[in-house]
A and B are shown apart, each in its own frame.
Chain A
Amino acid sequence: RKEVEQDPGPFNVPEGATVAFNCTYSNSASQSFFWYRQDCRKEPKLLMSVYSSGNEDGRFTAQLNRASQYISLLIRDSKLSDSATYLCVVRTGNTDKLIFGTGTRLQVFP
């Protein structure tokens, strides 16, 4: 079983739609959680950290469920520019090592 699992998609949604991505992780000792965004043929960039209480950044909302070992990302009012691959990322314990999921691809169409 992979340490971090995501639905690869693609998710094809119209502009203005709300879309949600899910991610599960296998190590209950995981302590830090992030969503990264990767555009085609570009490097990954941090989108947002995920906090235990859930957090929001504009149209983006991230949630963490430790009991179910589950992380989610909700994007409201999708824009064409949101088209990218969204990577779920987990850090376990006090190591500096990040474990990346394989990513969920989002395509927003006009």
Chain B
Amino acid sequence: GAGVSQSPSNKVTEKGKDVELRCDPISGHTALYWYRQSLGQGLEFLIYFQGNSAPDKSGLPSDRFSAERTGGSVSTLTIQRTQQEDSAVYLCASSPPPGLNEQYFGPGTRLTVT
């Protein structure tokens, strides 16, 4: 079946612009996660959703970052007024209920802020 998909696969933007990154989880997966990974670094947790609610937003680096999930499915991560340090690969993952097991990752969106 279809895996987690993310779009766009690559995004180059100018400093100060807003960007939206999209994640389509595997159908039926109730939990959805956003991470980012800078070059040569580990995965940094950003936020996770259980259904449409976000019990844990603790990883969002600043108030320029926000995310939403609608219909228990697609999620959008928005970064406002992008900065060069926002350049990274943004990975989305989903897991089936009860959400305590394997996370399935999408291919990521590579964001470059110039």
Chain A positions near chain B (C-beta within 8 angstroms): 32, 34, 42-46, 49, 87, 91, 94-103
Contacts and interface: CB of A to CB of B under 8 A. Distances in A.
B42 A96 contact: no
Interface string B15-42: 0000000000000000101010000011
A97 B106 contact: no
Main secondary structure of the interface of A (DSSP, over half): strand
Main secondary structure of the interface of B (DSSP, over half): strand
A9 B105 CA distance: 24
Interface in B41-78: 41-43, 45, 48, 50, 55-56
A96 B95 contact: yes
Given A43-B105, A45-B105, A103 B100 contact: no
A49 B102 CA distance: 8
B43 A44 contact: yes
Nearest to A103: B42
